Amino acid sequence: MSPSDLTLGDRIFVTLQHLLPQHALSALMYRLARCTWGPFKNTLINWFVAQFRVDMGRAVEPDPTAYPSFNAFFTRALQPEARPLAAEPALLCPADGVMSRCGSIRRGTLIQAKGHEFTAANLLGDAATAALFADGTYATIYLSPRDYHRVHMPLAGTLTSMRHIPGRLFSVNAVTARAVPGLFARNERVVCLFDTQAGPMALVLVGAIFVGSMETVWAGQVTPSRGAQPWRPDPGTQIHLDRGAEMGRFNMGSTVILLLPAGAQSWDPALQPGSPLRMGQALGALSGRR
């Protein structure tokens, strides 16, 4: 569907996002999601479970009212056996969600939706980082409200850098992706670079409206920063994460973009826009680059 195929309701939805105070609304949601008053948080959690048909059977804590806040419920841990990891040498899916797009990075650009592209340089924050992924591959995974919201490592890797890039907080659903040019390179995001057996790997956590808070396992809450200094590793500290290990989480739903260099892997041909995904399933096969 192209931008011209948007319905009147779609256009109104997108127009409102341009007009609304995105960061102020996200800050309000940040506070509400951390409210610990039982009657409020239990009502909100139970409504959410029913509205989005959330499967609590795989959660470590299956009782929705046992969570101290809505955010604790939203970022709930799953039982270890709930997301088995595909056998090596498969590239693992980093999150539950839906495949928005996957393919090759051509002339430095990635496809957002039919009729819309954006550059790797704009997404990652600079041309030098984007050059690492020239003629490489990418996958964009959309996490809906009902999904598991922790992000895991597709490959074992050692962290080389993390960058927080401020920006807008548009919704990242399919309607907005068709209507807002450069959406993923305009929204607030956290860019994490790793050295892996396949070469450099980028995992980009893209914020969205009501997703004003993203965190990583090594730095904790990255955004909102509340005036904190940018994260810097302790001298001599090396952060290495195993294949399938948790690397971060969204405190509401959003999008993860994975980038790999040229020749690192090939996508599973069954993957198409709209394909449902589970963390730990195989996205494709590694080429054995290293």
Is 96 considered catalytic here? yes
Q: Which residue has the higher pLDDT, 222 or 47?
A: 47
pLDDT for position 118: 85
Exactly one of 152, 171, 213, 268 is catalytic; name it: 152
What is the average per-residue pLDDT within 26-53? 88
Q: Which entry of 26, 100, 171, 254 is annotated as an active-site residue?
A: 254
* Length of the chain in terms of residues written: 290
Q: What was the pLDDT predicted at 227?
A: 44
Q: Per the residue annotation, which of 26, 96, 164, 171 is the catalytic one? A: 96
Question: Is residue 254 flagged as an active site residue?
Answer: yes
The verdict on pTM exceeding 0.85 is yes
Above 60 in pLDDT, residue 1? no
| Greater pLDDT, 275 or 184 | 275
Q: State residue 104's pLDDT score.
A: 92
Whether 152 is catalytic is yes
- Please write the tens of the pLDDT for every residue from 148-195: 999 999 999 999 999 988 877 666 667 666 666 667 788 888 999 999
pLDDT for the residue numbered 167: 78
